[in-house]
Amino acid sequence: MNKTYKTYNTIIIGAGLSGLSLAWFLFRQNPNHRTLLLEKEKRVGGAVRTYREEGFLIEGGPHGFLDNCPESINLLKDIGLDHVAQQAPLELFSRYICKENRLHRIPLEPFPCLRTKILGPLAKFRLLADLWKKPLSGEPSVKNWAEYRFGTGILPLVDAALTGTFSGDPERIKIDAIMPGLRHLERQHGSVLMGLFKKELFTVCDKQKSKKPPAMQNFPEGMEQLTLTLTGQLLNNTEHCDLRSDYEVRSFCKHGKLWKVIGPDNVNYCNNLVFALPVNAALHIINKNYQIPPSPITALPTARIVNVALGYPDTGQFPAGFGYLAPEQEKRFALGAMFSNNMFPGRSPRGHVLLEVLVGGRRHPERVRMDDGKLLANVLRDISQLLPISGDPVFSKIIHAGSGIPQLEDGYLGLLEWQKRVMVENPGLHICGSGWGGIGINDMIIEARRTVDSIISDRICNRDIDMPESIYF
Ligand SMILES: Cc1cc2nc3c(=O)[nH]c(=O)nc-3n(C[C@H](O)[C@H](O)[C@H](O)COP(=O)(O)OP(=O)(O)OC[C@H]3O[C@@H](n4cnc5c(N)ncnc54)[C@H](O)[C@@H]3O)c2cc1C
């Protein structure tokens, strides 16, 4: 092993969106803060990845994020992406849900459950039982909780919502893990509907607050424009931030007042060590450290997805809107599809449309493993029954997402308790990233911001960098 070492104020493991935003926030907070960003792969950006081929722009990971998060809005302004961001307002773009081989538009107005034709009159009436149902105790799954409060009629909508976010299974994901806010309303008001109604009333009375629904946003060069811009700005603006890619952190340990981070060919030391990694990648390293109590579970299940991108001549017949989702009950092959051109312009050559069909998810890992020919044939059969498509696509590309989406199932809440305890008991150690404080782009940026606030408010990181007291290789 090379015996050189360096010391930093902060070392960040992982240069996905979490790690990159963290490094940027640190730089903005204190330009002299010495940061080292360590990335296992040759490329940065992690799950965020955009492909351009034959004039089509295709996302391998996230397809956009809502523009209603102050931390993200400020970050985009700060790195100059606010002017170029493309917005697709939710109030203008319909979403569809598949029921009995047809696509039904989900109403855009408030309380869509009451307006949609997907629920019959009895199912709508049953929703009201929520008003006198006692809060459900324990840690119920999303399905059990929704069924108890609102009846079985709502389950296809719940299924579609979970497919559209986690590609998950409502029978396994825990309601307390993903919607603590709704559980809070249930406990505080004795009813979710009553709680929502009071909140709505409050917003209407509060003239200051905008009632405008948010927009989904992306960039002309795709989502990767965000991570590439962040990387470029970091490297151009500061000589105090080092980035090493193709560098896998193997282990770490406490070393006096410092953290020692061990990689393939050297070690580095820091006051603050941040795991900006998806839950499983972080647990893989942390659980090797005997100084830290083992986590209650060693991994979370993940949902893998394949994006089957298809280009067609534009016949003007595609439905307007974001795309559709297919609840599991419909027994369709694809989880749903995005009408990508409608949302964000410039994603296909002139006169063509781009359809991105998502397959797999928590319930169908076997479909992700299918060979490309079979996968494509199944997708084409599936969508031809739902969409006005005739003939073969003029373009197709199959993209396997590099990582899975963490599933907040059994043991997740215990894992969060453990995470908090580890951070409290080990000053200078921070854990954030995909699955820890949510799974979406906005969640990552919020957590990165919070982590930086906690680092900066820590007295230790504002002093000169400590030198290792003794070095043992
Ligand atoms: C298929 C898919 C679709 C998604 N769609 C959406 C969407 O539409 N909207 C939305 O808001 N969110 C979406 N998300 C979630 C969003 O992409 C993630 O929240 C976000 O990208 C996670 O960023 P991260 O930096 O925490 O993790 P990652 O992006 O996974 O980055 C972690 C980085 O750490 C590196 N690493 C791992 N181990 C080590 C190690 N030992 N040493 C050094 N480096 C290491 C990895 O190589 C990786 O680059 C999607 C996610 C996936 C997978």
CATH number for 180: 1.10.3110.10
Ligand 1 mean position, distance from CA 403 (Å): 7
Identify the segments of the chain with pLDDT beneath 70: 1-4, 109-111, 201-211, 459-473
Question: Is ligand 1 within 6 A of the CB of residue 17?
Answer: yes
Domain span including residue 144: 110-205
Flag whether 471 is in a domain.
no
Do both 115 and 192 map to the same domain?
yes
Residues 23 and 158 both lie in one domain: no
Kindly state whether residues 194 and 115 are assigned to the same domain. yes
CATH code of the domain covering residue 448: 3.50.50.60
Ligand 1 atom 6: residue of nearest CA:
62
In the predicted model, what is the mean pLDDT of the chain?
91
pTM, entire model: 0.93
Q: How far apart (Å, rounded) are the C-alpha atoms in residues 412 and 106?
A: 31
Last residue of one domain, picked from the residues 205, 234, 253: 205
Q: Looking at the domain assignment, is residue 443 inside a domain? A: yes
Task: Tell me, using a 6 A CB cutoff, whether residue 15 lines ligand 1.
Answer: yes
Token pair for residue 73?
């809005």
Is residue 327 located within the same domain as residue 376?
yes
Identify the pLDDT of residue 252. 97
Distance (angstroms) between ligand 1 centre and the Cα of 286 equals 18
Cβ atoms of 413 and 174 within 8 Å: the answer is yes
Q: Distance between CA 133 and CA 355 in Å, rounded?
A: 42
Residue nearest (by alpha carbon) to ligand 1 atom 26: 433
Q: Is 278 in the pocket of ligand 1 (CB under 6 A)?
A: yes
| CA-403 nearest atom, ligand 1 | 53
Ligand 1 atom closest to residue 47's alpha carbon, by position in its atom list: 29
How many structural domains is the chain composed of?
A: 3
**In terms of domains, do 430 and 368 share one?**
no
Confirm if 356 and 218 have CB atoms less than 8 A apart. no
Any domain includes 470: no
Indicate if 237 and 156 belong to the same structural domain.
Answer: no
Nearest-atom number in ligand 1 for the CA of 48 is 21
265 falls within a domain: yes
How far is CA 376 from its chain centroid? Answer: 26
Among 22, 39, 343, the mutation site with the greatest number of ligand 1 atoms within 8 A of its Cβ is 39
- Specify the pLDDT at position 33: 94
Is 324 a member of any domain? yes
The encoded tokens of residue 374 equal 């079979």
* Separation CA 393–CA 384 (nearest Å): 11
For ligand 1, say whether the CB of 325 is within 6 Å of any of its atoms: no
